[in-house]
Amino acid sequence: MTSEVVENEFEFYSKAEKYWKDVPATVDGMLGGYGHISSIDINSSRKFLQRFLRDGPNRTGTTRALDCGAGIGRITKRLLLPLFTTVDMVDVTEDFLTKAKSYLGEEGRRVRNYFCCGLQDFSPEPNSYDVIWIQWVIGHLTDNHLSDFLKRCRAGLRPNGIVVIKDNMAQEGVIMDDVDSSVCRDLDVVRRIIRRAGLHLLAEERQENFPDEIYHVYTFAMR
């Protein structure tokens, strides 16, 4: 539980904002010096996502996606824009969103909105998104804020839409990282928060071929 490791909520959020302001607006910056894993990450995410986009009665649409904690648009550029007609991006760091406009190149014209906002304060437009993608950012939300945000995401989905979380998982409990002011939760804690938000887990997958020294990374799809 984040309530056990986050002593001051205001400080938890403001410290994280300050940390990201000093991070270079590059792929390597977004990935904490692990820029070389970007292609492995994107390829796995594409395979995971495409199983929901295939033909069938409950097929997830490809009209519009939302990239949460989007940074400079690494996921928007390589995963979402190739699959969706339009994409919206939300990130707390204004410099990253400014950089995204050049980083995304020509295809960036299909990014409809750049929202500069922390996810604890962000509400996706209701009934608007086929996919809401949330990667490497849930650790910057307290349990209550994460649960509330996921509820708002649920309301933001179009019919057959899905919410996807991809993030680091702790071996046990909740671990605080004082450097970037984030937490890392174990699988059970994350699953519990997903259930609390009224979402139903459709798929769960562990990322393969990442460096041994980093946390295990899992992807969840839910609606």
Binding residues for S-adenosyl-L-methionine: 69, 74, 91-93, 119-120, 135
Q: Which two tokens stand for residue 185?
A: 């939760």
AA letter at 108:
G
Calculated CA dihedral for residues 3, 215, 139, 10, nearest 10 degrees:
60
Rounded Cα distance between 202 and 223, Å, is: 7
Terminal Cα distance for the chain, rounded: 23
Reference 7, options 139, 200, 181, 208; nearest CA is 181
- As separate numbers, helices (DSSP H) first and strands (DSSP E) second, the chain gives 7, 9
Q: Is 121 exposed, middle or buried (0-12, 13-18, 19+ CB in 10 A)?
A: exposed
Do residues 169 and 219 touch, judged by C-beta distance below 8 A?
no
AA letter at 221:
A
Known binding positions: 69, 74, 91-93, 119-120, 135
